Structure 1
Amino acid sequence: MIELALADRIVERREAIQSVVSRIEQGSSEVDLQDLQALLVDVAGRGKRDPGIEMAADDLFAAAAAVVTDRNSNSQPIARKLRLLRDAGFRLQHRLASAAERCAMRTQVTGSLQPCIPSRASAYRRWLK
C-alpha cells in the first residue's frame, strides 16, 4: 500500500535524522550539518505542506547550526544549545511520528490507495483547475 510505504519512509527519515542529531551532539563537523539539512529538506518538502513539520525542521536546523558553529569556535555555554538541540529534535520526531500514524490509520480505515500526503505539485494542479 502506498500509505504504508509512505509511513515506512517517514520512519526511516526519523531514524536518519535522529542519527545525525546524535552525531552533532557528540561533536560534529559541517558535513553532519549538511547531512541534516538534506534530510530536513526532504522531509519538509515531501508531500502536503505541514506547517508544524516545517517549523520543527527549521528549529532543529537552527539549533544544530548554533551547536556546530559554537563548537568550532569554542564558544560557551554549549549546554544550553545542546538542550535546545535535543528539544527541537524531540519536537520534530513527535511531528513525524504523528504524520506516520496518520498515514497508517488512513490506510486501515479507508483502505484507500491514494497517498495520505499528496504532493504539492498535485495540489497545485488541482488548484489551477
Structure 2
Amino acid sequence: MTDKSFEETIRERIAAVELVAESIAGQGRDTDLHDLRVLLINIMSLLMRDPGVEAAVDDLYAAAKAIERDAAIGVHPVPRNVRCLRTALTRFSERVPMVAGLSEPDDARRFRGLEAAYAVQLERTAEATAEADVEEAADARSAA
C-alpha cells in the first residue's frame, strides 16, 4: 500500500463525494445516499471540528436526502432540489480544502497583502519618527 499525503486523501474524498452527489442528482438511489453518508463521516473524521464544514455537510446530506425521498415515492427529482444539492456540493467542495489547510479564502490572501503593506508603512513611519527625534535632540544639544 502506498502512503498518500493528507492533501491527496482529502482531494480524493471530495472527488468521490462529487461523483456520488451527481449520481444522487440523476437517480436518487438509497445506496448512493448511504455511500454519501459514509464519505461525509470519513471526511469529518479527518478534519478538525469546524462549524462551517459541519453546516456544509448537513446541507449537502439534507439536499441529497430530499432527492432520495422524491425517488423513493417515484417522483423525478424536483429541479429545485437538484439545484439545492449542487449548491450545497459547491459550498462543501470549497469549505473542506480551506479547513484542511489546502487552500485559503480569497479574503485571507487579500488581507495578508494589506497586512504586509501596512507593516511597511508602519516601519517607514517609525524610521521617520526616529530620525526626527534624533535631529530634534541634536538641535536641542547645539542650542544649549
Which TM-score applies when normalising by structure 2? 0.63
Q: Which residue of 2 aligns with 1:95?
A: 95
* Offset at residue 45 of structure 1 (A): 2.3
Amino acid in structure 2 at the alignment position of 1:57:
V
CA distance in 2, matches of 1:59, 1:71: 19
Check the 8 A contact 1:53/1:92 in 2, yes or no: yes
Q: Distance in 1 between matches of 2:77 and 2:12?
A: 33
Distance (Å, rounded) in 2 between the aligned partners of 1:49 and 1:77: 32
CA distance in 1 between partners of 2:102 and 2:84 (Å): 29
Structure 1: gaps spanning 5 or more residues = 106-129
Q: Residue 57 in 1 paired to residue 57 in 2?
A: yes
Superposed CA offset, 1:6-45 (max 9, x none)? 1111101010000100110111311000000000011112
More RCO (CA 8 Å, sep 6+) = 1
Using a 3 Å threshold, how does the CA distance of structure 1 residues 17 and 76 change in structure 2: closer, same or farther?
closer
- Cα distance, 1:103 vs. partner? 4.3
* 1:57-109 deviation per Cα after TM superposition (whole angstroms, max 9, x unaligned): 11100000000111221347701111100000000000123234x2478xxxx
Between 44-53 and 87-96, the greater mean CA deviation after superposition: 44-53
Aligned to 2:47: 47
TM-score under structure 1 length normalisation: 0.70
Q: Percent identity?
A: 35
- Secondary structure at the counterpart of residue 47 of structure 2: coil
Counterpart CA distance in 1 for 2:102 and 2:10 is 10
Q: Which has the larger radius of gyration?
A: 2
Counting matched residue pairs gives 101
Q: CA RMSD in A?
A: 2.1
Q: Structure 2: state its 5+ residue gaps.
A: 105-144
Q: Distance in 2 between matches of 1:58 and 1:34?
A: 14
